[in-house]
Amino acid sequence: MTERVYNFSPGPAVLPVPVLEQAQREMLALPGVGSSILEISHRSKAFLEILAEAEANLRRLLGIPANYKVLFLQGGSRLQFSMIPMNLLRDSGKTAEYVVSGSWGEKAAEEATYEGEMRVVWSGKATNYDRLPAWSEVPRGPRAAYLHITSNETIQGVQFAADPDSGDVPLVCDASSDFLHRPVDIGRYGLLYACAQKNAGPAGVTIVVVRDDLLDRAPKSVPSMLNYAAYAKENSMQNTPNTFGIYVFMLITRWLEGEIGGLNKMLEFNRAKAKLVYDALDESGGFYRGHAQRPFRSLMNVTFRLPSDDVEKRFLAGATEHKLCELKGHRSVGGIRASIYNAMPMEGARLLAEYMRDFARRNG
């Protein structure tokens, strides 16, 4: 087998090795089934059990109340940017309100304009998305259909550390890049969604957790394949879902419960990993300059600059030699981005911190 590297990709991203090993073992035939997970009908007993376990495990991990539906969709978060206003804004006579804290929030807000009135109630653009609002800074409109936030901005590396309280307005949250990294009070959210390819599986599955009173808001003009209620009614099986993606997601929920011990433990682990990297950054005497202001630093994506583009290039080249890969920042921001999602081992974060200290010493 080819040797594995430490993969700091922002997504698709590192997955737990035991999950990959089980998918590998079962690739030719699921035990007791005799066909691959890639080959079995979505209506087969074997797949229905996988789907049911995926949902049950997720409900236990997040403590999802009974009045919330769990949906497994396709199309990534980008399709949710459209589905949310189609279902919750179109023909409502209300306004969709967006907290724009980074590149993904910007894109989400823009898509809402296709369906109705959109208002940006807070934007971090003036300071290049290096901070987040205090909850008291966010104005509330009297006619809000919903309030949309992005819990973690993957590109800029800013993250809400706690669950906001939006009062009577349904809170809609894009949790794509920090889903399942800590416990969440689902009761505060009207709809929480995440594409899988950071903490929850391969690209091609999107998980939506939605309070059931929001399901009947879509007007009749919304086609069934873009309608949450239609998916809820058919238990995510209006058509063939991404069966393999759901299978890997199910294996990840098992890993989170079994190997990790739940989301409180996961958060401890994520804090310890992030501390390793941020400490190396903070102790560099300004050689590394973090993008996010300290109180808003992401536990998932550590973003920073080096003294020059040239030094950054050497940093990246040297990192790859140490098997520390995919550390280049997003093209819109530049610099370095170390994505240290749930499945990044402690050893990966430790080796990165060590490399950062060593590189700063030799180049500072």
- Where do contacts with a copy of itself occur on this chain (CB under 8 A)? 1-5, 7, 9-15, 17, 20-21, 23-24, 27-36, 38-42, 44, 74-79, 81-82, 111, 114, 195, 197, 201-205, 221, 223-226, 238-245, 248, 323, 325-326
Return the structure tokens found at 159: 């993250």
Q: Between 82 and 235, name the residue whose CB sits nearer to a copy of itself.
A: 82
Q: Between 81 and 146, name the residue whose CB sits nearer to a copy of itself.
A: 81
Strand partners, 211: 68
d(CA 316, CA 311): 9
| Residue 255 falls in the annotated catalytic set | no
| Residue 198 falls in the annotated catalytic set | yes
Angle of helix 76-88 versus helix 103-112 axis, rounded to 10: 40
Catalytic position from the list 174, 178, 273, 328? 174
d(CA 137, CA 51): 41
d(CA 40, CA 48): 10
How many CA atoms are closer than 13 Å to the CA of 157, on its beta-carbon side? 29
| Residue 275 falls in the annotated catalytic set | no
Q: Dihedrals φ, ψ of 244, to 5°?
A: -65, -45
DSSP states of 8-59 as a string?
Answer: --SSS----HHHHHHHHHTSS--TTT-S-TTTS-TTSHHHHHHHHHHHHHHH
Q: Tell me how far the alpha carbon of residue 191 is from its chain's centroid.
A: 14
121: enclosing H helix or E strand: strand 117-123
How many Cβ atoms are within 10 Å of 312's Cβ, its own excluded? 19
Amino acid at 198: K
Return the structure tokens found at 80: 């949710």
Q: Dihedrals φ, ψ of 8, to 5°?
A: -95, 25
Active-site residues: which are they? Answer: 104, 174, 198
